[in-house]
Homo-oligomer: A and B are copies of this chain.
């Protein structure tokens, strides 16, 4: 495909795959798309191993890295906050509610290890920027911020290395702020997306943002939210998107980091099972509905979600434990299992290899264009 964006990034097909799994990132880039490693859980120390592996497996094709530097964090202004320090600030009611859910399901959560305790707080901005800096020792071709306006240091890093900076926008107003901040690529992410998302649908948000940006630096807009097929990618590009930014579709690949239990739940789910709730990170994020999300959102005894970053300390370890117990055959633990996923989960009916998914996107894309041409053929 010929476009300014494809030239800018040296790719053939503007399908962006956000994944926490290096295997997916490498497979997508190899197949002609653009893999983006979600590095939120990494540190400057751990990121090298991941990127070394990608460098060895991506056939020299371009890839990128995505961090999450939230503009608003409950611990804003505090420096060097460790996980252990935060643990001590979690209210008893929240601790007890989470423990009760696990106990009811017969799930045992291991005590936080020493190593985990010394880790930076979840979504720590300093850690994200240092991780990004470390990543520049590798041939990364894009850096992205998953929530809000990237800090100036991130824009500067991109400039210094000649690497474009992308950022996600869930509303027109966000996109205008991103454009003003100097971002090079804007990802217009609709409410149907997995993970943190706003309330406007992709079908409306993409043209609304493209229209609002006008010819401002000719910023390419990628469409995100709900896109699982090449037909949907063509739909987004019919509206002027420069490409598609995808996430959920890679969770149902053989390479994915998700558990077999979660992939089975993806196949069984309809779009309505992807709910937008605060009960995993403290900010509204779409994820698979489960007894965990139901309890936090609907149970009369629920103490409600804590703000970011506290909520992740409660949920991540608990849900890892539930996932492990579910893999061992615990049915109640299986009911608890959830992960970030968008409404597109309703379109998942099998688990494929990531390279195959890219091929299927290309096929679907071409079929969609042919469908449109056939309709207006004489």
Contact = CB atoms under 8 A, between A and B. Distances in A.
The secondary structure that dominates the A interface is: helix
Interface stretch (A72-80, A228-236, A260-268, A295-303): A228-236
A-B pairs with the 3 shortest C-beta distances?
A: A235-B235, A238-B368, A192-B201
Interface stretch (A111-119, A132-140, A205-213): A205-213
Contact of A375 (B3, B205, B229): B3
Contacts of A376: 1-2, 366, 369
A203 B1 CA distance: 23
A271 to B, nearest CB: 4
Interface in A208-246: 208, 211, 225-227, 229, 231-232, 234-240
A208 B346 contact: yes
B200 A203 contact: no
A234 B192 CA distance: 20
A355 interface: no
A311 interface: no
A243 to B, nearest CB: 10
Given A343-B201, A375-B3, A376-B1, A207 B232 contact: yes
Nearest to A229: B207
A95 interface: no
Contact of A204 (B2, B172, B344): B344
Nearest to A377: B2
Contact of A271 (B204, B226, B232, B238): B204
Given A200-B192, A201-B202, A272-B200, A346 B172 contact: yes
A240 B232 CA distance: 10
Interface in A164-215: 171-173, 190-192, 198-205, 207-208, 211
Contacts of A366: 376
